[in-house]
């Protein structure tokens, strides 16, 4: 079992759980409290378990153009973006965030459970390219500070330092002569930051950053990280995505650049219409859980729940489900088999919350 | 009594599945332990049997749903359900706030108290059970 560098600090306060081979905080006080802190103010998560792969060298850009369907060339330096690696059948190996530091230097942030598989794939594809690949997961910490007040509060406690101004922007900052990489990204639907802090020579800088930010942002565990990402409609590898999932099932065709060559392109071309689509379901009663069957009005099986939880904002059960594509239209009615009962649910397009009140696109309150 | 950060109330009988029973006269009030409440965290729904229903010792009599998961409630005793905690319908979080007092679940009229009480744990035995299952 792996531990994150600040393990001892978390273990004192949090209920721990195991996830992807790591022992991690599940919650500190309450999943609902932590969830609401992020929606209404700010929360801090230790996400050091996420895989971090450093890619350097003169062919870095061309290499990523080959393994990712998105156009990497048009992204500016010091910008982050979401993408996925495909196998030659067009199925998703992993979804990821890329930090483009320059044409010659990238950090790829991948799912903890997939890191070894991803490294195998990357190394296999890297043969003819002039690049170096380093797994820097255990040499760094990674924190996410999320919520409408996260930027303002982080900048206050870190003494007005250089924060990224727009979503997906990246800045660097020197603290105790360590270079910290900060991107305006996250996995909660809210505005926020993710920071990568070197800890090869000790955890004191990372511990200082955590302690300072946690004075103003609520410490949050994996429990609320999951409820927040479900409420925002964000997919999770292992739930919505597996190695039989194409980007079309997730509604991500907009992230594919058909004008270039990339691994999986030919297979995707032949496979444009998915059988199933991911949609959102809202239940009036009971909480849907992963694996529950979804039926139509006539009682025929049309799909299954991939992630389900109680939504602290809607105060109802919500789910992401994979259903036959003609049932995924918002406004439709489907039935979730919750143990012995069939519970009516209506189909929505996530996010589940009112986007004028919550999430990074919310209408900013005038002071 | 306390085991780590969990309150264990002394005058109760416990199941290995973390329910408690408080016997007074011919009746027992039933709930879940502070350990169960803290582990489940954020309880959002409770399903209980109906008044008048007969339940058996260690039989599943309901479910408690938290944000993370659903878990089953096992009856510490056999008997007939005579009262339910109506407050839980609108305030299931009472179980988290006060698992031994305001967050009680139901009351049963006991049918086999003498034979069944030996199958349950005292507070000291329950603490040993928590220790032996290496609960943090």
ipTM: 0.81
* Position B135 confidence tier, pLDDT thresholds 50, 70, 90: low
Interior/surface letters B38-60, b for 16+ CB within 10 angstroms, e for the rest: bbbbbbbbbebbeeeeebebbee
Mean pLDDT confidence for A149-178: 92
Q: Is A227 within 8 Å of B67 when comparing Cβ atoms?
A: yes
Q: Is B65 within 8 Å of A286 when comparing Cβ atoms?
A: yes
A25 contacts chain B (CB < 8 A): no
Secondary structure letter of residue B75 according to DSSP? -
Please report the pLDDT score of residue A241 as a whole number: 97
Mean of all residue pLDDT scores within chain A: 96
**Where do the domains of chain A lie?**
2-48+138-231, 275-348
Mean pLDDT confidence for A239-252: 95
Cα–Cα distance measured from residue A128 to residue A17, given in angstroms and rounded to the nearest whole number? 41
Sequence-ordered list of residues with C-beta below 8 angstroms from that of B8, at least 6 positions apart, any chain? B1, B2, B33, B34, B35, B123, B126, B127
* Position B22 confidence tier, pLDDT thresholds 50, 70, 90: very high
Q: How many residues are given for chain B?
A: 136
Please report the pLDDT score of residue A285 as a whole number: 86
Q: Is A15 within 8 Å of B65 when comparing Cβ atoms?
A: no
Please report the pLDDT score of residue A163 as a whole number: 93
**CB-CB contact of B25 with B82 (8 Å):** no
Cα–Cα distance measured from residue B122 to residue A316, given in angstroms and rounded to the nearest whole number? 38
**Cis amide bond preceding B66, omega within 30:** no
**CB-CB contact of B25 with B32 (8 Å):** no
Both tokens assigned to A52: 């971090």
| pLDDT over threshold 90, residue A271 | no
A183 contacts chain B (CB < 8 A): no
Q: What's the CATH architecture for A2-48+138-231?
A: 2-Layer Sandwich (3.30)
| pLDDT over threshold 60, residue A367 | no
| pLDDT over threshold 70, residue A365 | no
Alpha helices in A251-299 (DSSP H): 265-270
For residue A8, which residues of chain B lie inside 8 Å, CB to CB? none
Q: Is B65 within 8 Å of A227 when comparing Cβ atoms?
A: no
List Cα–Cα distances, A15 to A23, A106, A123, B39, in angstroms. 10, 34, 37, 8
Per-residue pLDDT tens over the stretch A280-314 = 999 998 999 999 999 999 999 999 999 999 999 99
Q: What's the CATH architecture for A275-348?
A: Beta Barrel (2.40)
Q: Is A309 within 8 Å of B67 when comparing Cβ atoms?
A: yes
Domains of chain B by start residue, with CATH: 2-119 (2.40.50.100)
For residue B38, which residues of chain A lie inside 8 Å, CB to CB? 15
Per-residue pLDDT tens over the stretch B83-122 = 999 999 999 999 999 999 999 999 999 999 999 999 999 9
Mean pLDDT confidence for A175-180: 91
Mean of all residue pLDDT scores within chain B: 95
Cα–Cα distance measured from residue A13 to residue A219, given in angstroms and rounded to the nearest whole number? 10
Mean pLDDT confidence for B70-93: 96
Nearest CA in chain A to B65: A287
Please report the pLDDT score of residue A200 as a whole number: 84
List Cα–Cα distances, A276 to A209, A249, A269, A293, A347, in angstroms. 43, 6, 17, 14, 14
Sequence-ordered list of residues with C-beta below 8 angstroms from that of A353, at least 6 positions apart, any chain? A39, A189, A231, A232, A311, A313, A314, A359
* Position A162 confidence tier, pLDDT thresholds 50, 70, 90: confident
Q: Minimal CA–CA distance to B38: which of B72, B75, B62, B68?
A: B68
* Position A68 confidence tier, pLDDT thresholds 50, 70, 90: very high
Mean pLDDT confidence for B116-132: 95
Per-residue pLDDT tens over the stretch A1-55 = 999 999 999 999 999 999 999 999 999 999 999 999 999 999 999 999 999 999 9
* Numbered residues of chain B with Cβ closer than 8 Å to any chain A Cβ: 38-39, 41-42, 44-45, 65, 67-70, 96, 136
| pLDDT over threshold 90, residue A159 | no
What long-range pairs does A128-132 form, CB within 8 A, spacing at least 24?
A: A129/A57, A129/A59, A129/A62, A129/A63, A129/A66, A130/A57, A130/A58, A130/A59, A131/A55, A131/A56, A131/A57, A131/A58, A131/A59, A131/A60, A131/A63, A132/A55, A132/A56, A132/A57
Mean pLDDT confidence for A207-235: 97
Please report the pLDDT score of residue B4 as a whole number: 86
Cα–Cα distance measured from residue B42 to residue B70, given in angstroms and rounded to the nearest whole number? 11
Q: How many CB atoms lie within 10 A of CB A133?
A: 17
| pLDDT over threshold 60, residue A76 | yes
List Cα–Cα distances, A267 to A163, A257, A270, A271, A286, in angstroms. 41, 14, 5, 6, 40
| pLDDT over threshold 70, residue B20 | yes
Nearest CA in chain B to A226: B68
Please report the pLDDT score of residue B5 as a whole number: 85
Cα–Cα distance measured from residue A31 to residue A43, given in angstroms and rounded to the nearest whole number? 12
């Amino acid at each position: 079992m792996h531990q994150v560098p600040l393990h001892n600090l978390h273990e004192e306060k949090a209920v721990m759980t195991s996830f992807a081979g790591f022992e991690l905080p599940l919650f500190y006080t309450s999943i609902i409290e932590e969830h609401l802190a992020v929606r209404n103010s700010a929360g801090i998560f230790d996400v050091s378990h996420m895989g971090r792969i450093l890619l350097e060298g003169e062919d870095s850009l061309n290499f990523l153009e080959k393994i990712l369907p998105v156009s990497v060339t048009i992204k500016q330096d010091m910008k982050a973006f979401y993408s996925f690696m495909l196998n030659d059948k067009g199925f998703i190996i992993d979804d990821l965030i890329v930090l483009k530091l320059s044409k010659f230097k990238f950090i790829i942030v991948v799912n903890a459970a997939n890191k070894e598989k991803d490294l195998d794939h990357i190394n296999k594809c890297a043969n003819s390219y002039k690049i170096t690949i380093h797994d820097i997961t255990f040499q760094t910490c990674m924190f996410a500070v999320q919520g409408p007040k996260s930027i303002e509060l982080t900048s206050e406690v870190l003494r007005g330092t250089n924060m990224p101004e727009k979503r997906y922007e990246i800045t660097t900052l020197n603290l105790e002569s360590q270079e910290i990489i900060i991107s305006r990204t996250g996995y909660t639907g809210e505005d926020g930051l993710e920071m990568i802090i070197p800890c090869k020579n000790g955890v004191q800088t990372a511990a200082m950053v955590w302690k300072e930010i946690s004075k103003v942002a609520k410490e949050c565990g994996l429990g609320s990280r999951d409820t927040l990402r479900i409420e925002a409609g964000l997919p999770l590898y292992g739930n919505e995505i597996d190695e039989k999932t194409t980007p079309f099932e997730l509604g991500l065709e907009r992230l594919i650049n058909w004008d270039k060559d990339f691994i999986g392109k030919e297979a995707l071309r032949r496979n444009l219409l998915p059988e199933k689509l991911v949609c959102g379901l809202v239940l009036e009663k009971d909480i849907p859980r992963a694996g529950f069957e979804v039926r139509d009005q006539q009682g025929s099986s049309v799909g299954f729940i991939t992630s389900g939880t109680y939504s602290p904002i809607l105060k109802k059960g919500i789910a992401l489900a994979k259903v036959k594509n003609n049932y995924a239209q918002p406004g439709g009615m489907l039935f979730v088999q919750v143990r012995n009962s069939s519970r009516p649910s209506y189909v929505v397009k996530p996010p589940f919350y009112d986007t004028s009140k919550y999430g990074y696109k919310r209408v900013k309150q005038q002071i | 009594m306390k085991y780590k950060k969990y309150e264990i109330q002394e005058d109760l009988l416990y199941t290995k599945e973390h329910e408690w029973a408080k016997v007074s006269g011919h009746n027992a009030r039933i709930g879940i332990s502070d350990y169960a409440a803290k582990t489940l965290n954020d309880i959002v729904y409770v399903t209980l049997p109906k008044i008048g229903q007969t339940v058996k010792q260690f039989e599943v009599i309901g479910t408690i749903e938290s944000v993370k998961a659903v878990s089953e409630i096992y009856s510490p005793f056999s008997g007939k359900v005579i009262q339910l905690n109506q407050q839980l319908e609108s305030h299931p979080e009472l179980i988290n706030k006060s698992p031994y007092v305001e967050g009680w679940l139901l009351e049963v009229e006991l049918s086999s108290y003498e034979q069944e009480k030996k199958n349950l744990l005292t507070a000291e035995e329950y603490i040993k059970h928590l220790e032996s299952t290496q609960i943090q």
